[in-house]
Amino acid sequence: MRRPGLVAAGVVLWFNVAPIAAARAQNDVVMSFKFFAVQYGTRLVTAFDSIPASRYSYRPTPAQQSIGFIAQHLEAANYGLCERLGVPRPSRSPKDSAPDTVKATWPKDTLVARLRASLAFCDSAISKLTDIQLNQPMSYGPPSSNLKAVPSRTLLGFVTDLAEHYSQLASYMRLIGLTPPSALPPKRRNAIELPATTFARYVGSYDLPASAFQGSPGVRLDVSVRDGALYIKPVNQPEARLWPEAMHEFFVKEADIQVTFTEDANGRVTGLVVHQNGEDRRARKIGEG
């Protein structure tokens, strides 16, 4: 499983330091739900992606759901739950009205793409919530329906539904000889050789926003070159070496953290993305080295 942080020689390696009280987010409860929703949602998509299309009809017993059925069921459940958070669901097409048994036989790529879209809808809906709204009933459904739901109950139902179906899918994977994503070791990353001169374009300062999930505050990242190697240092935190695994793609060896540098149409580096704990934090470049 992925490590949220790493303690080495008494130092917590970076980006996951506890924020000072004044910087703590005001939506701690909502963001905690969002964190676990992203974790389980990412695992589900990864699991469905890793299962061969030929096995989507698999079910352990005739009475159980097939893998394809679980995928389409999750999509429908996600929309059904997350529209209760005060955000209208996308307009339904005739295809959406097909029987569940028909949807279960759709191509793997279609099912996975639709599941991704439903999770993105939920992520957007949760992002609009504040803690103060958690116990305030919200209207949903057709205007004349007078339906209302309490967000705290909806969020609990949404996250536990994702967790339940991930457990179900993980069991299916074990039965067909596949390893569930959460049981896999961190991806083995291999550093490649890049000319030291290529690192100069990444040097500068970057404005990393606060973490939506971890409560960590925003911080300036300073990227520098020393002795032919690239380093990144959050202000008032230890620096870490960035090892290249592709052009623009780097990783930290001491923790499960990756950094992608972004550029504009003219090839000028404009920012970076920190990949950690299932979150992609985009930082814009604010100064040259």
- Residue-wise pLDDT tens for the chain (289 aa)? 444 443 333 333 455 543 333 334 467 899 889 889 988 999 999 999 999 999 999 999 999 999 999 999 999 999 999 999 989 988 888 888 999 999 999 999 999 999 999 999 999 999 899 999 999 999 998 888 889 999 999 999 999 999 999 999 999 999 999 999 999 887 889 999 998 889 999 999 999 988 766 556 789 999 999 999 999 999 988 999 999 999 999 999 988 899 999 999 999 999 999 998 777 889 999 988 6
pLDDT reported for residue 51? 98
Q: How many domains does the chain have?
A: 2
142 & 284 share domain:
no
Identify the CATH number of the domain in which residue 230 sits.
Answer: 2.40.128.20
Q: What interhelical angle do 108-127 and 28-50 show, nearest 10?
A: 170
- For residue 5, is it within any domain? no
152 & 70 share domain:
yes
pLDDT reported for residue 188? 87
Structural domain containing residue 248 = 196-288
Assign 3-class secondary structure to 31-82. Answer: HHHHHHHHHHHHHHHHHHHHCCHHHCCCCCCCCCCCHHHHHHHHHHHHHHHH
- For residue 163, is it within any domain? yes
213 & 118 share domain:
no
233 & 170 share domain:
no
pLDDT reported for residue 1? 40
234 & 133 share domain:
no
Identify the CATH number of the domain in which residue 133 sits.
Answer: 1.20.120.450
From 154, 163, 157, 65, select the one nearest 111 (Cα to Cα): 65
